[in-house]
Amino acid sequence: MSTALRVGVAGLGTVGAATVQLLAGQNAMLAARAGRLIEVTAVSARDRRKNRGADLSQMTWCDDARELAALDDVDVVVELIGGADGIARDLVEAALAAGKHVVTANKALLAHHSTALAARAEAAERVLAYEAAVAGGIPIIKAQRDGLAANRVLRLHGILNGTCNYILTVMRETGRDFHDVLEEAQRLGYAEADPAFDVDGIDAAHKLAILASLAFGRAVDFDNVHVEGIRHISPIDLAYAEELGYRIKLLGIAEDGADGVTQRVHPSMVAKTSPIAQVDGVFNAVAVEGDAVGATLFQGRGAGAGPTASAVVADLVDIATGRGAPVFGVPASALLAAQPAPMDRHRSAYYVRLMVTDRPGVLAEITAVFRDHHVSLEAVVQRARDPHGPVPLVFTTHETEEAAMAQSLARIAGFDFSLEPPRMIRIEAF
């Protein structure tokens, strides 16, 4: 058997500890599959005293993770620290400069710096692997880069954040409001103490930017991802969606069209009969449409210690066997420049909910605004009148341009009968 692949792990949180445990527990099986041993020789974390569920006594301990890059007995640095900059970025750059391969689960780092990091890795003839950075245990990076290599990807969409999917699922099933379910998700460990990256869509946007670059052969362009979160979704919207035949999901959607690359993360209504609508709880799913293969769907756990460690170790096996590929499927120098499509040119159908004062003429004024902006209405839903409170008015539209919807809703929001900001959700046809 060949010389062992020696691994340094930076970050021994839930994923880092699970990675060390998985490598130790599956040692013989992994050696058979990789043709050589894969062994952890060095680690770095802030607290030496914490029990990580594995024997670390024979490993070199680095108080500063950046020291891993200089160790002679480390061939691969596994970066599980997180964050777009700081120590994580310093470590990855230093490891590549020292001629070491890198495996990372850091989607923020990749969303902001991966084009430059890919060029560094290729110049050093080293692997930069990141299966664990997107969709946890779902092997979507290898599937897209390798399994679908014969295809030109036309479009992809997916549920890329399990926290949001869990919250929307529980809200739909129980009728509870967003803040109540978020607190439950935090107690269960599905949401962070500061949940902003998840519920405001940033985490999903990081992942979408990576997937879009891989799909379309363009430089990563996180700055031009349109991002909306789920804080404004209410039980009433979920109930109306069910009545109209839809489910609400936070989706990441990317498409390379005539106007450029569309990258958007936002709540979407999808038909209840569509495959993506059936993905509930903490699960993720990614649908990729290729010109030869057609529609494909990948589903599984998008986060958690075990699934993410599984993806990290899969990358290590690839490195151990000598399997490697350009970071984004083509050399970094061959990546096309980013070409963002303007969001105001986007076209789709829309769901709109208004809360209005119940008085004569309100509906006529609203429909006149839509008429003036060439927005064609498909349906209007109005419940029984409540003379003592606001009345919800729900509209669905035919396909129209985003700019026309934005202008319409801005005018409607200015009327004195409009009691809260209009709620708009795009309706996606998958």
Give the domain 343-427 fold.
Alpha-Beta Plaits (3.30.70)
Positions of CATH 3.30.360.10 in the chain:
140-301
Write the pLDDT tens digit of every residue in 392-421: 999 999 999 999 999 999 999 999 999 999
Report DSSP state, residue 137: T
How many whole angstroms separate alpha carbon 167 and alpha carbon 238?
12
Measured from the Cβ of residue 273, the count of other Cβ atoms closer than 10 Å reads 10
Measured from the Cβ of residue 419, the count of other Cβ atoms closer than 10 Å reads 13
CATH (residue range 140-301): 3.30.360.10
pLDDT of residue 430: 85
How many whole angstroms separate alpha carbon 163 and alpha carbon 166?
5
How many whole angstroms separate alpha carbon 166 and alpha carbon 182?
9
Positions of CATH 3.30.70.260 in the chain:
343-427
pLDDT of residue 385: 62
How many whole angstroms separate alpha carbon 134 and alpha carbon 296?
17
Residue 53 pLDDT more than 90? Answer: no
Q: Count CA atoms closer than 13 A to 15's CA, side-chain side.
A: 26
Write the pLDDT tens digit of every residue in 215-260: 999 999 999 999 999 999 999 999 999 999 999 999 999 999 888 9
Question: Which residues are marked as active site?
Answer: 207
**Residue 23 host element (H or E):** helix 14-25
Closest Cα partner for 426 from 268, 284, 277, 289? 268
Positions of CATH 3.40.50.720 in the chain:
2-137+308-334
Write the pLDDT tens digit of every residue in 96-145: 999 999 999 999 999 999 999 999 999 999 999 999 999 988 999 999 99
pTM: 0.94
Tokens of 92: 């990855």
Is 2-137+308-334 CATH 3.10.20.30?
A: no
DSSP 36-80: EEEEEEEEE-S-SSS--SS--TTSEEESSGGGGGG-TT-SEEEE-
Residue 367 pLDDT more than 90? Answer: yes
